[in-house]
């Protein structure tokens, strides 16, 4: 029995990196975790690791840009558990790093669909279930380039800036009439596949492991929210 016993959590992008580590950390504290991602085999591996550690999890393979799939998942969660306590919006794609005039529209549109449209659909579909929790929590993962634009990172930074606006607005809309609270978390430099793609020459051991971010997320979920949205940077 952990601090999150009885809680139902949904983690997107849970097949690897920060998402996988967060799912395992939440399960270790007693939450039942719903794992979503496109890679079924990888999801099954995380689910097995959670079960072997004494936790519980359910996999829900899906592509978040298929918004109908999100609605179907929300319906399934409502029928089985009747609520959602924790929503971790972690899944994102980097896209191509390039000067703004050279942004590839196909890649940019996919990033917009994954990093902005999918999170909005998640909030829209799970809002009612989050309100049924005695302490609903929405955690959105962001990046420093959302607030401090950097050359060649315009496309990715723009999608994450938009995500922050959505999360901030939602937090303001619900904080005085529900128990739902929102946190916007900047994980900082972390050892992930996305980081390796963006910084191919970097020594992976020079940056922190995903578990550090995961533990921070668990601490946020289980703590008091002095404000909503709560903004946290993980060193």
Total domains in the fold of the chain: 1
Q: Provide CB contacts within 8 A for 206, sequence distance 6+.
A: none
List, in sequence order, every beta strand (DSSP E) within 127-180. Answer: 137-141
Both tokens assigned to 115: 């990093």
Confirm whether 113 is domain-assigned: yes
Which SS3 state, helix, strand or coil, does residue 191 take? coil
List, in sequence order, every beta strand (DSSP E) within 37-118. Answer: 56-59, 86-89
The whole-number pLDDT of residue 226 equals: 87
Closest CA to 95 of 149, 165, 159: 159
Confirm whether 39 is domain-assigned: yes
- Order of all β-strands in the sheet with 56-59: 56-59, 32-36, 8-12, 86-89, 137-141, 181-186, 230-233
Confirm whether 2 is domain-assigned: no
CATH number at residue 87: 3.40.50.720
Confirm whether 3 is domain-assigned: no
Which SS3 state, helix, strand or coil, does residue 63 take? coil
Confirm whether 185 is domain-assigned: yes
Confirm whether 106 is domain-assigned: yes
Q: Which domain holds residue 57?
A: 8-233
Confirm whether 79 is domain-assigned: yes
Enumerate the active-site residues. 156
Tens of pLDDT along the chain (235 residues) come to 799 999 999 999 999 999 999 999 999 999 999 999 999 999 999 999 999 999 999 999 999 998 799 999 999 999 999 999 999 999 999 999 999 999 999 999 999 999 999 999 999 999 999 999 999 999 999 999 999 999 999 999 999 999 999 999 999 999 999 999 999 999 999 999 999 999 999 999 999 999 999 999 999 999 989 899 999 999 8
The whole-number pLDDT of residue 60 equals: 97
The whole-number pLDDT of residue 100 equals: 98
Confirm whether 141 is domain-assigned: yes
**Rounded-to-integer distance, Cα 27 and Cα 38, Å:** 20
The whole-number pLDDT of residue 1 equals: 73
Verdict on whether the full-model pTM lies above 0.85: yes
The whole-number pLDDT of residue 67 equals: 78
């Amino acid at each position: 029995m952990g601090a999150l016993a009885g809680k139902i959590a949904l983690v997107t992008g849970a097949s690897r990196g920060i998402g996988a580590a967060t799912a395992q950390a939440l399960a270790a504290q007693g939450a039942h975790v719903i794992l979503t991602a496109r890679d079924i085999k990888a999801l099954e591996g995380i689910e097995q690791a959670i079960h072997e550690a004494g936790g519980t999890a359910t996999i829900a393979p899906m592509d978040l840009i298929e918004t109908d799939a999100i609605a179907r998942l929300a319906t399934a969660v409502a029928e089985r558990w009747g609520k959602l306590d924790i929503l971790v919006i972690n899944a994102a794609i980097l896209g191509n790093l390039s000067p703004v005039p050279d942004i590839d529209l196909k890649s940019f549109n996919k990033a917009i669909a994954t990093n902005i449209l999918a999170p909005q659909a998640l909030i829209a579909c799970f809002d009612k279930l989050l309100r049924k929790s005695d302490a609903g929590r929405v955690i959105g993962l962001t990046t420093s380039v959302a607030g401090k634009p950097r050359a060649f990172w315009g496309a990715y930074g723009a999608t994450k800036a938009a995500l922050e606006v959505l999360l901030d607005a939602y937090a303001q809309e619900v904080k005085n009439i529900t128990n739902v609270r929102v946190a916007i978390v900047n994980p900082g430099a972390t050892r992930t596949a996305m980081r390796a793609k963006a910084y191919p020459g970097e020594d992976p051991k020079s940056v922190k492991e995903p578990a550090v971010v995961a533990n921070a997320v668990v601490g946020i979920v289980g703590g008091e929210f002095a404000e909503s949205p709560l903004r946290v940077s993980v060193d």
